[in-house]
């Protein structure tokens, strides 16, 4: 008696192929999402560093001590939007909208405690926390949310 297992292989393929495709799509989308996280974090880091570099010249002249400029938070917000523009195609909102809704705080005197994070800053600090919505179309194919929101945080001070 002769057995033919060709039908079994076909059935196995039909069952496993969708599963493999789901795993593959998920891995690719997670990788892309990870890249967006790095870019958005770098945008926030550079924005806070630029804001810290913008010092209050009048205060420095008067006391010799570096203090943040009064508009340090606005500077950080502006540069965050500029830096995000390179990643704009992957975002579900415009960089300016993301920057406008970001929580940017300036702590000109130190030491101080960040009321939102609880962190203690021993130098004048600019802190930025932003929610960045990222398009994840592959997740939508898997019946997951089509937009994934990332929360990034950055703080900088002259040390």
If one asks whether residue 111 binds other proteins (CB under 8 A), the answer comes out as no
Beta carbons of 131 and 98 less than 8 angstroms apart: yes
Beta carbons of 95 and 84 less than 8 angstroms apart: yes
- Please give the C-alpha separations between residue 56 and each of 80, 142, 145, in angstroms, as whole numbers: 20, 51, 45
Task: Return the range that interacts with other proteins (CB under 8 A); candidates 28-36, 64-72, 86-94, 138-146.
Answer: 64-72
Helix (H) or strand (E) holding 30: helix 6-53
If one asks whether residue 52 binds other proteins (CB under 8 A), the answer comes out as yes
If one asks whether residue 158 binds other proteins (CB under 8 A), the answer comes out as yes
Terminal CA-CA length for the chain: 83
3-state secondary structure of 124: coil
Sign of the C-alpha dihedral computed for residues 81, 115, 122 and 71 taken in this order: positive
Task: Return the range that interacts with other proteins (CB under 8 A); candidates 5-13, 19-27, 41-49, 85-93.
Answer: 41-49
Kindly tell me which of 69 and 93 has the beta carbon lying closer to other proteins. 69
Task: Return the range that interacts with other proteins (CB under 8 A); candidates 5-13, 23-31, 54-62, 79-87.
Answer: 54-62
Binding residue for other proteins (CB under 8 A) from 6, 7, 31, 64?
Answer: 64
If one asks whether residue 83 binds other proteins (CB under 8 A), the answer comes out as no
Kindly tell me which of 48 and 87 has the beta carbon lying closer to other proteins. 48
Binding residue for other proteins (CB under 8 A) from 125, 135, 139, 152?
Answer: 125
3-state secondary structure of 78: helix
CA 149 to the chain's CA centroid: 9
> Residues in the site for other proteins, rule: CB under 8 A?
45, 48-49, 52-53, 55, 60-66, 119, 121, 125, 154-159
């Amino acid at each position: 008696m002769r057995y033919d297992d060709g039908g079994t292989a076909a059935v196995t393929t039909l069952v496993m192929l969708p599963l493999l495709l789901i795993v593959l799509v998920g891995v690719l989308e997670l990788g892309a999402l990870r890249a967006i996280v790095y870019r958005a974090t770098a945008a926030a880091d550079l924005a806070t560093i630029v804001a810290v570099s913008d010092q209050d010249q009048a205060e420095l002249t008067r006391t010799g001590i570096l203090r943040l400029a009064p508009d340090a938070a606005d500077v950080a917000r502006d540069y965050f939007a500029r830096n995000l523009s390179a990643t704009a195609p992957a975002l579900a909102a415009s960089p300016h909208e993301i920057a406008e809704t970001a929580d940017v705080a300036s702590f000109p005197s130190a030491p101080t405690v960040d009321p939102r994070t609880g962190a203690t800053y021993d130098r004048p600090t600019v802190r930025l926390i932003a929610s960045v919505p990222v398009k994840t179309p592959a997740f939508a194919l898997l019946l997951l949310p089509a937009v994934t929101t990332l929360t990034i945080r950055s703080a900088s001070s002259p040390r």
